Amino acid sequence: MSSGHDSELRESIKNTMSEIFGFSQKWYEYLETQDRNERISYAILIGLMILFLTFFSRYFIEIVGYSQLQVFLAGLLLGVTGGVASYFIIERVQKPRFSELSDALAEMRRAKENQNLLEKTLHLIDRMTECLPEVKKRRREDSFMYGVAAFILVSFLRTTTFPGLNVLIGVLVWLYFRYEATKDYEREVSRFEEWRRRFEQQKRDFVEGL
């Protein structure tokens, strides 16, 4: 193999690895953000439950000498404290879900030699492939939440008396974002598969030229 061709091949491999790393880093950060948002949602839900239970407890137990405002403020304090505590407890108890992908990305950053970097890239590709179904699932959950938000917004505004309009708009918003999320996911996966095939071919060419 000529030195010029060898240099071009190395540069091409480097670019492909960079694209694969960027793709994997992007979706790892997305999955980690989704996990963090999930913990925040649970913490908010627990905090609200504590607040409501404290506030409405005045209907079932006699709280002598305390006004409704004082009971509400006490419930708010307990709710915030319970929510924050719940977040950190869930974070501590919950096992890292994407640790293998995180480790593969870290190994890619540390890899120096070309042969070692090639193997690390293949390892990263395998880990990212395992996480793709989770990416698809989370994207669809995002579209559902958009539909729920649209339903709540239309219900709150009450701009029309047409029955079921809030449900109809919520479903339409959900279907639209589900379609867009699916299309975007398929496009991203297609690019990833193309990079994977290109990298595997470049790796074979590089090894044969040694």
Q: What is the pLDDT of residues 115-138, one digit of tens each?
A: 577 788 888 888 898 888 888 888
The domain total for the chain is 1
pLDDT for res 173: 92
Instruction: Give the end-to-end CA distance of the chain in Å, rounded to a whole number.
Output: 8
Mean pLDDT, residues 25-54: 85
pTM over 0.75, yes/no: no
Distant-in-sequence, close-in-space partners of 115: CB < 8 Å, separation ≥ 6 = none
Higher pLDDT, 5 or 23: 23
Q: pLDDT band at residue 172, thresholds of 50, 70 and 90?
A: very high
Alpha-carbon radius of gyration of the chain = 26
Mean pLDDT, residues 187-198: 88
Distant-in-sequence, close-in-space partners of 180: CB < 8 Å, separation ≥ 6 = 143
Single-letter amino acid, residue 84 = V
Distant-in-sequence, close-in-space partners of 83: CB < 8 Å, separation ≥ 6 = 43, 44, 46, 47, 48, 50
Helix (H) / strand (E) element for 133: namely helix 114-157
Q: Which domain holds residue 204?
A: 3-208
pLDDT in tens, 53-84: 777 766 555 555 566 677 677 777 888 888 88
CB 164 within 8 A of CB 151: no
**Does 205 score more than 80 pLDDT?**
no
What is the three-class DSSP state of 163?
A: coil
